[in-house]
A and B are shown apart, each in its own frame.
Chain A
Amino acid sequence: MTETTLDAAGRPLAAETSTRAAPAGYWRGVARRLRYDYVTLLFIALIAAIALAAIFAPLIAPFDPYKSSMIYRLKPIGYRGFLLGTDELGRDMLSRLTYGGRSSLMMGLTPVILATAIGGSLGLVAGYLGGWVNALIMRTMDVFYAFPSVLLAVAISGTLGGGVVNGLIALTLVFIPPLCRVAEGATTQIRDRDFVEAARASGASATSIIFYHVLRNVSAPVLIYASSLISVSILLAAGLSFLGLGVEPPTADWGLMLSTLRQSIYVQPLICALPGLAIFIVSLSFNLVSDGLRQAMDVRS
């Protein structure tokens, strides 16, 4: 990545040159590399399809996902129009899986987005200011690092009392420290480079340097790292629901469905495995796409 901010004519001008010149070539290169990476493209399409199905679930789902029926309990795949069978309350599995994507994707994506915003900002500030601010922020993060992520997520949401919001809070807290560390590392490398020095010398304020120069260079590694956390977050979020700490019944959610269907493995083992398969496919897709993006954007792990 080359930067073109050596002309010190003034803040707005420097900002304009850097928005146009440098990233355009970089992003064009990324797009060119991605175009021939068929695996990544395929899984991007798969994620898009699953997300669209979840968003437009009311239009796609063949049945009402909450309508239970005592006679149609735990019917096999393909039974009387129930393409993927029915669950332990006689609800259509296909409809529930389609709707379940909503809460599972939401529970997986939201914490990463929030943690990227919060952790990323903290890391930028810590890295740019250095000194005692850095020490304060990073040592606090170190303490959160001393807990395995599953343990921290379960303990926080468990103590708060479960539920969607508490689950989201717990997961966000789990992902802030690693994102903060990545942002801090990248910022520390950037802040002493010549073009930042030049901007500072030309009188640019700390905020504008952070926004125009540092952020532009730090965002690639941070976003790539965040994308690799999506898969982890989806697994953890579904895991919380599986433990009864996330989404509450009767909401359709893959983790929760897996947990309630667990009682029926003797009756319909295949159907009981379906929600987990959905989690697996989504988590695999996000992992492969994140790897592909990392290569295309040429960021070293």
Chain B
Amino acid sequence: MWYYAARRVLLAIPIALGVTVICFCLVYLAPGDPVQTLLPPDATQADVAYLKKVYGFDKPIPVQYAKWLGRAVTGDLGTSIQTNQPVLREVLRALSHTLVLSIGAVLVAYPLALALGTLAAFTIGRPPDRLATAISVFGVSIPNYWLGIVLIIVFAVKLGALPVAGMGPNGSDSFDITRWAQFRYVILPVVTTACVPLGIIMRTTRSAVAEVLSQEFIQTLRAKGLRRGAVLRHAVRNALPQMLAVMGLQFGYLVGGSILTETIFTWPGTGLLLSKSILTRDIPMLQGAMLVLALCFVGINLAVDLLQTAVDPRIKRA
């Protein structure tokens, strides 16, 4: 167990390094001189020369990467062109807002998806299964940016029941879930983000549980006269590793892929930060946000893998 865990952690290191390489290359992907992309357009010649020296742009690219990585490891991801604030601080603050949405979506989507998916697996081909399958196809196919707009039209514009956008009254930027005045703002974005994971997790749960149910030991359990609930427990326990894997992956997507929903609801998370930094060509911010999000994604996947080995002793033998 510990051997496997240590091995898995070590395997994540080259991936994380690869991620830093891609994020580093972003600056060079941008059209034009990297120094120009790091500076505001009205920078003077002296500024350009100074920055070239400070960032080491006059050195070969591998050296530049090493320097950049060295600064990144110590938490220095550069300064935002737009706000002149340290990138890391802005990204982390936005990340905390994104997590509010992601965790909200998890709380809404996961229990529902697990319940409906299991129900569908027990009633394959019958109406409950048909309904659950239809919901999951809809959840996967619906463009969530469109769903967000439709929800805004219905609940904010027509009914006037919920706010259109933002994270709280008067452009509030701290989150306090216990206050209804603020909680109202989280409802529509959470419902919108919950759709895709709902569909995907329901689908995986259905096929995973159905596969366990088709195995012979389930017939034995039924023949022994076990009650339905007990059979259910066996089925779910065996399907759990597969379900965990997809739940973890979806959580990663929620944290890292929130850009469209956050743009629609002007939710001040990492997604909105990314979309703003693209519009204003704030490359250091874009690079920093992408690095932090990708590392979160790697970390989440690692955590899920470790959790999987904890619940499924069969894995560590493989």
Residues of B near A244 (CB, < 8 A) are: 279
Number of A residues with CB within 8 Å of any CB on chain B: 44
A139 proximal to B (CB < 8 A): yes
Residue B315 is within 8 A (CB to CB) of chain A in the complex: no
B 280-315 to A, binary, CB cutoff 8 A, 1 in contact else 0 = 000100100010011001100100000000000000
Q: In the complex, what's the smallest C-beta–C-beta distance from B151 to chain A, in angstroms?
A: 11
Give A145 to B31 CA distance when docked, in angstroms: 25
Chain A positions 261-301 with a Cβ under 8 Å from a chain B Cβ:
262, 265-266, 269, 272-273, 275-277, 279-280, 283-284, 287-288, 291, 301
**Chain B residues within an 8 Å CB radius of A151:** 256-257, 259, 274, 290, 293-294
Asked if A1 is at the interface of the complex by the 8 Å CB criterion, the answer is: no
Is B145 touching A242 in the complex (CB atoms < 8 A)?
Answer: yes
Q: Quote the shortest CB–CB distance from A183 to chain B (angstroms).
A: 21
Please, which residues of chain B bring their CB within 8 A of the CB of A148?
252-253, 255-257, 293, 297
- Mark interface residues in A132-149 (1 if CB within 8 Å of B CB, else 0): 000000011011101111
Please measure, in the bound complex, the distance between the C-alpha atom of A156 and the C-alpha atom of B27, giving whole angstroms: 10
Complexed CA–CA distance, A269 and B150 (Å):
8
Select from chain B the residue with minimum beta-carbon distance to A242: B145
Flag whether B66 is at the interface (Cβ < 8 A): no
Cβ of A161 under 8 Å from chain B: yes
Residues of chain A within 8 A of B26, CB atoms compared:
155, 159
| Nearest CB of chain B from residue A141's CB, rounded to whole Å | 10
B232 at the interface (CB under 8 A from A): no
Query: Given the complex, which residues of A lie within 8 Å of B301, measured CB to CB?
Result: 146
Q: From known contacts A150-B260, A151-B259, A245-B278, infer whether A273 and B149 are also in contact, taking CB-CB under 8 Å.
A: yes
Q: Are A143 and B138 in contact (CB under 8 A)?
A: no
In Å, the complex CA distance between A159 and B30 comes to 5
Q: Does A95 contact B (CB under 8 A)?
A: no
Alpha-carbon distance A174/B14, docked complex (angstroms) = 20
Query: Quick check: is A235 within 8 A (CB to CB) of the other chain?
Result: yes
Closest beta carbon of chain B to A93's beta carbon, Å? 15
Does B29 belong to the interface (CB within 8 Å)?
yes
Q: How large is the interface on B (under 10, 10 to 19, 20 to 34, 35 or more residues)?
A: 35 or more
Most chain B C-beta atoms within 10 Å of own C-beta, residue among A151, A231, A291: A151
B146 proximal to A (CB < 8 A):
yes
Q: Is B9 an interface residue (CB 8 A)?
A: no
Asked if B263 is an interface residue, CB under 8 A from chain A, the answer is: yes
Which residues of B lie under 8 Å from residue A242 when comparing CB positions?
145, 260
A156 to B274, alpha carbons, bound, how many Å? 12
Contact B138 A147 (CB under 8 A): no
Interface of A is mostly: helix
B48 interface residue (CB < 8 Å to A): no
Establish whether residues A155 and B274, one from each chain, have CB atoms under 8 Å apart when the complex forms: yes
A57–B263 CA distance with the chains assembled, in angstroms: 32
CB of B127 to closest CB in A, whole Å: 16
Is B14's CB under 8 angstroms from A139's CB?
A: yes
Chain B residue numbers with a CB within 8 Å of A179 are none
Which residue on A lies nearest to B293, using beta carbons?
Answer: A151
Residues of B within 8 A of A130 (CB): none
Q: Are B141 and A287 in contact (CB under 8 A)?
A: yes
A243, B143: Cβ atoms closer than 8 Å: no
Q: Is the CB of B143 within 8 A of A280?
A: yes
Interface string of B142-155 (1 = CB under 8 A from A): 11011101101100
A158 and B280 CA atoms in complex are apart in Å by 10
Interfacial chain B residues near A287, Cβ < 8 Å? 137, 140-141
Contact A161 B31 (CB under 8 A): yes
Interface pick from B15-23, B84-92, B182-190: B15-23
Contact B141–A147 (Cβ < 8 Å): no
CB atoms of A161 and B30 under 8 A apart: yes
Given contacts A146-B297, A148-B297, A242-B145, whether A273 and B263 have CB atoms under 8 Å apart is no
- The reply on A21 being an interface residue by CB < 8 A is no
Cβ of B115 within 8 Å of any chain A Cβ, yes or no, is no
Instruction: Output the nearest chain B residue to A244 by Cβ-Cβ distance.
Output: B279
In whole angstroms, what is the CA distance A146 to B31 when docked? 25
B256 partner, pick from A144, A147, A262, A275, beta carbons under 8 A: A147
Chain B CB within 8 A of A165 CB = no
Contact: A146 with B138, CB < 8 Å?
no
User: Is residue A160 within 8 Å, beta carbon to beta carbon, of the partner chain?
Assistant: yes
**CA of A207 to CA of B146 in the docked complex: distance in angstroms?**
47
A112 at the interface (CB under 8 A from B): no
Contact, CB under 8 Å: A258 / B140: no
Q: Are B149 and A272 within 8 A (Cβ)?
A: yes
| A245 contacts across to B, CB distance below 8 A | 278
- Contact, CB under 8 Å: A239 / B18: no
B149 touches A265 (CB 8 A): yes
Q: Per-residue 0/1 for A234-258: is the Cβ within 8 Å of any B Cβ (1 yes, 0 no)? A: 0100110011110000000000001
Min Cβ gap A182→B in Å is 16
Task: Say yes or no for A126: interface residue by CB 8 A criterion.
Answer: no
A186 at the interface (CB under 8 A from B): no
Q: Report chain B residues within 8 Å CB of A238.
A: 143
Q: Are A280 and B152 in contact (CB under 8 A)?
A: no
Contact call A149/B257, Cβ cutoff below 8 A: yes
List 13 extra interface pairs beyond A148-B297, A151-B293, A258-B149, CB under 8 A: A146-B18, A146-B19, A147-B19, A150-B256, A151-B274, A151-B290, A160-B29, A161-B30, A269-B157, A269-B158, A272-B153, A283-B143, A284-B138
What are 13 contact pairs spanning A and B, CB under 8 A? Answer: A143-B15, A143-B19, A146-B297, A148-B293, A149-B257, A150-B259, A155-B290, A231-B141, A235-B143, A239-B145, A243-B278, A269-B153, A276-B145
What 9 A-B pairs come out closest when comparing CB atoms? A276-B146, A143-B18, A148-B256, A158-B278, A150-B257, A284-B141, A148-B257, A269-B153, A283-B141
